[in-house]
Amino acid sequence: MQQFDVVVVGAGAAGLFCASVAGQRGLKVLVIDHAAKVAEKIRISGGGRCNFTNRDIDVRQPHKHFLSENPNFCRSALSRYTPADFIALLQRDGIAFHEKHKGQLFCDRSADDIIQLLLRECDKGGVTRWQPCSVQAVRHGSGGYELDTERGPVQSRALVIATGGLSIPKIGATDFGYRIARQFGLKIVETRPALVPLTFDGAAWAPCAGLSGLALPVQIETGSKKERMAFLEDLLFTHRGLSGPGVLQISSYWKPQTPIRINLAPDQDLAARLAEAKARSRKLIVNELAALLPSRLAEAWAGQDPAWQRPVNEAGDKALAALAEKLSRWELTPTGTEGYAKAEVTAGGVDTRELSGQTMEAQKQPGLYFIGEVVDVTGWLGGYNFQWAWASAHACGVALAQPTGA
């Protein structure tokens, strides 16, 4: 049986980074993954450029950018390994990057730059990697953890689960991490797709299906007054519903059978603009609207009511006010989401109350650690989830090397 100090299951962002941190601190580390390629989620993220972190993370108020049943759990790791720390790692390696907007940082060249960086960091720590290699069973005994793998049995004093969530199964996502957590008696917060497009009933959506491909900036919100969440981001119409950054953001907070509300012209006072147009113009309402909104959207909305299909100077004040209200507060109830197949991340996961926020170790199961997306910590769109991967992995890697670790 081969012996290691640490076995990390999962060769994604969190797993590779944790392995490199522990390896460079003198530990003998093995990374196992059932997929042939490492870090496929990094490879496809950010349109192939990897939105690897976000400068705007407020570590004093992590609940602002992260969802969890215990939102303060992530504060310790995020405050000890910050975006500046990961940026410094990239700069040391000469990896060029740029900021798009709202603190979002992307590689100039390719997401592969991040993957190769992580592999070099693992090499510096003498990390062993087995891929593809599946894990058939895990046991805990007096000698630590024993794993039955495709390449034979392995023993280690510590086991790190970095297998991610259920999102994008076509690149290898599985429920392995949750199964291990349950095996050792850890609670799981119910999982669901997050950062995911929203879908609508086919018949009800038919009038909007013709808008597929149209994108525009909106304000989108959900929840009651006390729980209200709102984002000012782009929205994208699709054949089946709505997508784009604004919708992905709100999807993490949306609850089934509840509505979302969209202001399709957040930088306009539509009521005032239409009233002003009535006083000076003889154009059709749709033509005046097209000066304020994308023309396809203007046509779709004006076509919904005969009162909106006439010259603006002939329209009733109530009709114009109703049109402005509908566009500024479009309320609709999604029937569902595109599911894990299209979700960028998985919300829920291993209950943070089962883990140490300092080390990511299970409170009731010494030597067992959970990091990254498998944990009930879910970030906003825009690099936050990768920063959680780096921060939780670093906290775990450092703890593993402590004399009191595992």
The string of pLDDT tens digits covering residues 263-312 is 999 999 999 999 999 999 999 999 999 999 999 999 999 999 999 999 99
Residue 406's pLDDT is 43
pLDDT for residue 60: 83
Q: How confident is the model at residue 59 (pLDDT cuts 50, 70, 90)?
A: confident
Indicate yes or no: pTM above 0.85.
yes
Instruction: Give CA–CA dist 333/257, Å, rounded.
Output: 7
Which H or E run includes 203?
helix 202-209
Cα separation, 326 vs 155, in Å, equals 63
Q: Is the Cβ–Cβ distance between 243 and 236 less than 8 Å? A: yes
Question: Please, how many CA atoms are within 13 Å of residue 76, restricted to the half-sphere of its CB?
Answer: 14
CATH architecture of the region 270-329: Orthogonal Bundle (1.10)
**pLDDT category of residue 396 using cuts at 50, 70 and 90:** very high
* Pairing between β-strand 2-9 and β-strand 29-32 as defined by DSSP bridges: parallel
Residue 51, number of CB atoms within 10 A of its CB: 22
pLDDT of residue 225 exceeding 90: no
Amino acid at 293: L
Q: Mean pLDDT over residues 90-112, rounded?
A: 97
| DSSP letter (8 states) at residue 185 | T
**CA gyration radius for the chain?**
25
Return the percentage of the chain with pLDDT > 90, whole number.
Answer: 93
**2-193+346-400 CATH choice from 1.10.3720.10, 3.50.50.60, 3.10.20.30, 3.40.50.720:** 3.50.50.60
Average pLDDT, the chain: 96
Q: What is the pLDDT of residues 366-387, one digit of tens each?
A: 999 999 999 999 999 999 999 9
Does 405 have pLDDT greater than 50? no
Domain 198-265+331-337 has CATH 3.40.50.1820: no
Q: Are 93 and 86 in contact (CB under 8 A)?
A: no
Name the CA dihedral angle for 34, 36, 41, 47, rounded to a multiple of 10 degrees.
-160
Q: Average pLDDT of 390-406?
A: 87
| Helix or strand run (H / E) with residue 83 | helix 83-92
Q: Where are the domains of the chain?
A: 2-193+346-400, 198-265+331-337, 270-329
**Residue 43: which H helix or E strand, with range?**
helix 40-44
> Which residues contact residue 191 at a Cβ distance below 8 angstroms, ignoring those fewer than 6 apart?
165, 166, 178, 346, 347, 348, 349
Q: Report residue 404's pLDDT band, with 50, 70 and 90 as the boundaries.
A: low
Other beta carbons within 10 Å of 345? 28
